[in-house]
Amino acid sequence: MIIAVLCAALGACSALRIGYSQAPDLAYWWLDGYVDFNSDQTPRVREALKQWFAWHRRTQLPDYAAQLARAQAELAADTTPARACEWQGEVIKRARTAWERALPAAAELVPTLTPQQIQHLERRYAKANDEFRDDFLQPDLRKRAERTLKRTIERAETFYGKLTDAERARIADTLPRSPFDPEAWFAERQMRQQSTLAMLRQFNGDGAAREPLLAALRGQADQMERSPREPYRRYAEHLNEFNCSFAASLHNSMTPTQRRHAVAKLGGWEGDLRALVAGS
């Protein structure tokens, strides 16, 4: 839990070494599912992804591995909510660095998108929103709470190993105090999608607007980090405070055996990252 934020920086955490080696192709297929690239765009996107992942492997993976090593060194001791939030901030900073590196290629692609491709993206957003409803917005609030509890326990066990019945019960007692509101999250998500679509339509076919487009792309990332809508921003800050406190409390309640399990898990990921760097 306290190191869950590191997973976000690494992408897929299972079969990391194999998955990362195939990452340019996997990233292309994922993006193509949203945009439906044409024959002119495909080679440019593939080359941009190849170059981005070469940069990422060479410059970022060593830093991620060092972060994992530092996390392992801290796992034996108790932690604080402030420290949990610091780890989250470290991941956000690295995600922003990765996005900044991708901006020039994104700025070259956006003006080439056709109205049909933007419509395709809008339909893909709608499909993703249906999946979100299935995962987080069950009409039965009891089932919704059960799903949230199940996700939380699964994430905790990813790092710490099997939880006892008493540990599961403590999580179940704590989660109802969480300010997490999937309906607020969903509404914000939809507004961000509409903002992205509006930005793409604004710069569609406008190859001369590079600097304004770069600023607009950075603005989309800003919205992900800090909503421009004050009510949601206050909600997100409150939720983040709770999550950091919850992560610290959970970690501090784990046994030495469970903490060793987490150290071993992170050690495996660190080894995978260092092998990827060496293999580059």
- Per-residue model confidence as pLDDT tens digits over 6-21: 444 444 444 688 888 8
Q: With contact defined as beta carbons under 8 Å apart, do 186 and 129 qualify?
A: yes
Burial of 8-31, coded b for 16+ CB within 10 Å and e otherwise, reads: ebbeebeebeeebeebbeebbeee
Task: Enter the pTM of the model.
Answer: 0.89
Mean pLDDT over residues 121-148, rounded? 97
What does the chain come to in residues?
Answer: 280
> What is residue 208's predicted lDDT score, i.e. its pLDDT?
63
Burial grade of 254 (CB within 10 A; 0-12, 13-18, 19 or more): buried
| CA dihedral angle for residue 38, residue 41, residue 45, residue 47, rounded to 10 degrees | 120
Query: Which of 2-6, 63-67, 188-192, 213-217 is least confident?
Result: 2-6
How far, in Å, CA of 131 to CA of 117, rounded? 21
The vertex-108 CA angle with 104 and 110, nearest 5°, equals: 115
DSSP state for residue 57 in the 8-state scheme: I
How far, in Å, CA of 195 to CA of 180, rounded? 23
Distances (CA, A) of 201 to 42, 206, 241: 20, 10, 36
Q: Report the amino acid identity of residue 137.
A: L
pLDDT in tens, 78-111: 999 999 999 999 999 999 999 999 999 999 999 9
How far, in Å, CA of 2 to CA of 87, rounded? 8
- Residue spans of the domains in the chain: they are 4-279
Question: Residue 38 phi/psi, 5° resolution?
Answer: -95, 180
Q: Report the chain's mean pLDDT, rounded to a whole number.
A: 92
> What is residue 13's predicted lDDT score, i.e. its pLDDT?
46
Q: With contact defined as beta carbons under 8 Å apart, do 206 and 110 qualify?
A: no
